[in-house]
Amino acid sequence: MFSFLHYLIISISILKHSTTLAQKNSGTVSIDATLTAGDKAFSWLSSSGDFALGFQQLSDNKDLFLLAIWFNKLPERTVVWSAETPNNPTRKGSKLKLTADRGLLLTDPRNQELWNSDPIISQVDMAIFNDTGNFVLVNRNSEKIWESFSHPTDTLLPTQVLEKGDVVSSRDSSTNFSRGRFQLFLLKDGNVVLDSINLPSEFTNANYYTSGTTNTNSSNPGKQLVFNESGSLYVLRENNEMFTLSGAENVSGADYYYRATLNFDGVFTKYSHPKNPTMENSWSAVWSIPDNICIKSFVFGSSGACGYNRICRLNVDKRPVCECPRGFSLLDADDEYRGCKPNFLQSCEEETKSSADSLYTFQEIKDIDWPTGDYEVLQPYETDKCKETCLNDCMCAVAIFRNNTCWKKKLPLTNGRLDSNAEARAFIKVRKSDFPLENPSSSSQTKSQNVIIIAGSVLLGTSLFVNFLLLGGVSMGFFFIYKKRVTRPQSDREVSRFNLRCFTYKDLTDATDDFKEELGRGSFGIVYKGTLKDTNDQVAVKKLDRAFQDSEKEFKAEVNVIGHTHHKNLVRLLGFCEEGEQRLLVYEFMSNGTLAGFLFGDMRPSWNQRIQIAMGVARGLLYLHEECNTQIIHCDIKPQNILLDESYNARIADFGLAKHLLMNQSHTNTAIRGTKGYVAPEWFSNMPITVKVDVYSFGVLLLEIICCRRNVDVEIAAEEKAILVYWAYDCYTEGTLDVLVGSDMEAIEDMKSLERFLRVAIWCIQEDPSLRPSMKKVMLMLEGIVQVSAPPSPFLFGSII
């Protein structure tokens, strides 16, 4: 589930750093005052300290700083304005100065001017930082000569007014503040519209929302878009009547912050956040337009909210969730909004040689449509003929069948969406070899048919309002997740598997020189080094132990699942072998060994390298948990199972194998597959095994990465230090982080990150699995996108380790 909304993390200590380090708190700034990016005095505060203007360090690039205004008292960093310049973010050492003749002046470390607030007509006397979040430059007569509210970026705040011709632009992504594709416009004719532009051009696609307050519709067109103090958003008409978009909130603005943000996915949302952050931890969406971006953003000449070749469905917060249909994979594994690429492109040459039906087949998905991708419509028609004509047409990527009509669609597929009213059956052309274990006649086994409605667990730990939304969503039937399944094994082996090689046992005895050089012993067997005789590629060959020997089908199913995973932080499976009793898996060889060797060796690796590795492991786990077709729980995350490639990227090994064991054994102690010291407490109780077991192990691993020592080290003389999870928590509560990392100066100098990482680790090792964050949240916290609140003691149930 998209996860800003759940995970109640209570008790947040208000940002100590920014309040103590920022300059004086009077809400005014005098001429010649300066701020320096990366410096201790990095912000100016509004009078009550609710807002800050200054330099925000970017989470994904520590050397870059964004000149911005943000909510200063909230645990999560919420930027509401940023200076619009191609050189924002800027480098460390850049300066912001308030000048009398140029207004705000941003210069780079070599004193080159990067940006200034607009040309101004009279001399600036001082700046007033209003507690509404408006940064105002005034002249000697106290007249406003420039204000941040007149130059909105992606967010409006209460008391802010948008004038005719003004625009609010989305940012590029959640972390990139460059201008994005979507805009909210108050047109000169009085209409408020949402539309998208085809960057880098200014070409505007058709509106996907309009308020209708134009001068052609009415003698009384809109004049301003107002976000008033009570949180009401309305179009003020020429005759001062109001056209309300979203009414006032009945909870007072004294207790809640409000903002209205055009999100990077095109949804304009009003959010509220309790001012007392101990009550709740995140922004709740209270209103948004359009009501369904997946359907409304569909316009010709644009990809829709999700990018090309996608399926868009609506999340509870009315924001889109984007998925690749079967047969497609993400263009950029790190960016789920950039669209998907087909796993193959059908050649039109090939058709002359062999008949299409031996090469291609269809995956059927119900209630999906790409309404703008047709190139041919056939009517009246039958389902089978519809499929056949698409199969034999090398241009055809998808056929949609509904009401005796057959639509043939070409690539790229645009504006894909889930549409339960459509009663459409989508037939997606796939290469047979990509789906070896799927029986084409049972292709109704596809993902979307396993839609289930979830309720229970998600209802815990969210705000009343979100719960209300959830219930509403459930009853309206648009809120669901896909139940993930192992695909059905097929009995024959007629096809070679998805980019996987099928090796003979002899191939592998040759490659490994009769299993001569042992690389390590993993959870399910021994790994040997080898060199493939035909390609000379170095490989790691894993000889599986008895676990899989009795079950050919399960083995194939698992291989198929693993073969479909592609991520830069996973070790890639190249092929497999099954002959008689023998089950072997062939992986790419990782030249820099295991993380255990790297961390616990003689040389302490650098802090930065360790941070990168921790991020890599988190990314890989996030992919396994939430992003690949079949959810994979690793069950045995530990430094021995993390390998390092030639560039020292972390690559998770040994995933996808544990499921088999989980399914076949009850949760008794014999089923515990994890490794002592890394396994979550629920393995020892009757609690269900979920992805949270991996989060626990990741927490332990993260502590080891921070401290460069093993979790359990009985050789350490001081007893209180022998078990890292206890000792780390002690050091955390006592504030002795320097002791924890020993003489690691790099870590000590990066105290903020160190503390953040430690907090994340302690959240992950909570004995109560429901308190542990999801990997998505872990990722956001590690990157510094979400602030990490102070974790409670992880040891609620007493010690088990």
Ligand X SMILES: *[C@@H]1O[C@H](CO)[C@@H](O)[C@H](O)[C@H]1NC(C)=O
The residue ranges that bind ligand X (CB under 6 A) are 128, 130, 132, 159, 172, 176, 178, 228-230, 232, 234, 242, 244, 247-248
Q: How far is the CB of 34 from ligand X (least distance, A)?
A: 23
Closest CB to ligand X among residues 149, 298: 149
In the complex, minimum distance from the CB of residue 128 to ligand X, in angstroms, rounded to a whole number: 5
Tokens of 468: 């209300």
Q: How far is the CB of 659 from ligand X (least distance, A)?
A: 37
- Least CB distance to ligand X at residue 186 (A): 17
Q: Which is nearer to ligand X, 136 or 650 (CB)?
A: 136
Question: What is the CB neighbour count within 10 angstroms for residue 405?
Answer: 14
Say if CB 161 and CB 233 are below 8 A apart.
no
Comparing C-alpha atoms, which of 164, 183, 206, 186 is closest to residue 84? 183
Alpha helices in 671-743 (DSSP H): 692-707, 724-734, 737-740
CB nearer to ligand X: pick between 202 and 646 = 202
Alpha carbon distance 398, 374 (integer Å): 9
Closest distance of CB 146 from ligand X, Å: 14
Task: Give per-residue burial for 217-254: e unless 16+ CB within 10 Å, then b.
Answer: eeeebbbbbbbbeebbbbbbbeeeeebebbeebeeebe
Shortest Å, Cβ 74 to ligand X: 20
Name the residue with tokens 């302690």. 762
Say how far apart CA 188 and CA 224 lie, in whole Å.
10
Residue number, 234 or 528, with CB nearest to ligand X: 234
CB 342 → ligand X: shortest distance, Å?
23
CB 177 within 8 A of CB 82: yes
Report, in Å, the least distance between residue 560 CB and ligand X. 35
Query: d(Cα 38, Cα 66) in Å, to the nearest integer?
Result: 11
198: Cβ contacts below 8 Å, ≥ 6 apart: 181, 205, 301, 302
3-state secondary structure of 246: strand
| 159 vs 372 by CB, closer to ligand X | 159
DSSP symbol at 734: H
Least gap, CB of 228 to ligand X (angstroms): 4
C-alpha angle 754/755/759, rounded to 5°? 120
Please pick, among 636, 654, 694, 744, the residue that the annotation labels catalytic: 636
> Minimum CB separation from ligand X for residue 568, in Å?
18
What's the min distance (Å) between Cβ of 248 and ligand X? 4
Neighbours of 796 (CB within 10 A): 11
Angle between helices 775-782 and 607-622 (to 10 degrees): 150
Nearest to ligand X of 235, 557 (CB atom) = 235
* Residue 170 or 191 having the CB closest to ligand X: 170
Say which DSSP state 48 is in.
T
Partners of 530 in beta bridges: 539
For residue 320, what are the contacts with CB-CB under 8 A and spacing of at least 6? Answer: 265, 266, 267, 293, 294, 305, 306, 312, 313, 314
**In this structure, which amino acid lies at residue 233?**
L
**For ligand X, the closer CB: 178 or 389:** 178
Give the tokens for residue 583: 């089950």
Instruction: Check the CA dihedral 388-391-396-399 and report its sign.
Output: positive
Contact present, 123 and 139 (Cβ < 8 Å) = yes
Would you say 131 or 755 has its CB closer to ligand X? 131
Among 174, 156, 380, smallest CA distance to 258 is for 156
Nearer to ligand X, 303 or 630 (CB): 303
- Angstrom distances, CA of residue 360 to CA of 49, 235, 437: 63, 54, 14
What's the min distance (Å) between Cβ of 682 and ligand X? 39
In the DSSP assignment, the letter for residue 429 is E
Q: What is the separation of C-alpha 60 from the centre of its chain, rounded to a whole number of angstroms?
A: 13
Cis before 412? omega within 30: yes
Assigned token pair, 304: 């829709």
Q: Where are the alpha helices (DSSP H) in 338-485?
A: 350-353, 356-359, 383-391, 456-459, 464-476
Q: Which residues contact 518 (CB under 8 A, 6 or more apart)?
A: 526, 527, 528, 529
Closer CB to ligand X, residue 130 or residue 509? 130
Closest residue (Cβ) to ligand X?
Answer: 232
Q: Locate all alpha helices (DSSP H) within 512-591, ordered by sequence.
A: 552-563
Cβ proximity of 58 and 3 under 8 Å:
no
Nearer to ligand X, 247 or 472 (CB): 247
Residue whose CB is less far from ligand X, 247 or 301: 247
Contact criterion met (CB below 8 Å) for 519 and 553: no
Helices (DSSP H) in 453-549: which residue ranges? 456-459, 464-476, 505-511
Q: Shortest gap between Cβ of 286 and ligand X (angstroms)?
A: 14
Active site residue 636: yes
Measure the CA–CA gap between 516 and 511, rounded to whole angstroms. Answer: 10
Catalytic positions: 636
